[in-house]
A and B are shown apart, each in its own frame.
Chain A
Amino acid sequence: MTCPPDPGRRAFLSAIPVLTAGIAAPARAADTRSPHWGMLVDTRRCIACQACTMACAMENATPEGAFRTVVATYAVTTAEGATGLSIVPRLCNHCEKPPCVEVCPVGATFKREDGAVLVDGDRCVGCAYCVQACPYDARFVNHETGKADKCTFCSHRVEAGLLPACVETCVGGARIFGDLHNPESEISKRLKEAGNAVSVLKPEANTRPNVFYIGLDAALAGRVDGVSAADMMWRPDHQGG
Chain B
Amino acid sequence: MLDFSWHCHPEVVVLFGPSGAGKSMTFRMLSGLVTPDSGEIILGGKTLYSHAKGINCSPQQRQVGYLFQHYALFPHMTAAQNILYGHPAPRTPAALSELQALLGQFQLEAVAWARPAALSGGQRQRVALARALMRKPAWLLLDEPLSAVDLSVRRSIRSELKQLQRRLNIPMILITHDLGEAFSMADRLIIYDQGRVVQSGLPEEILANPLSPIISEWAGHCPPAHSPVFSF
Whether A associates with B in a native complex is no
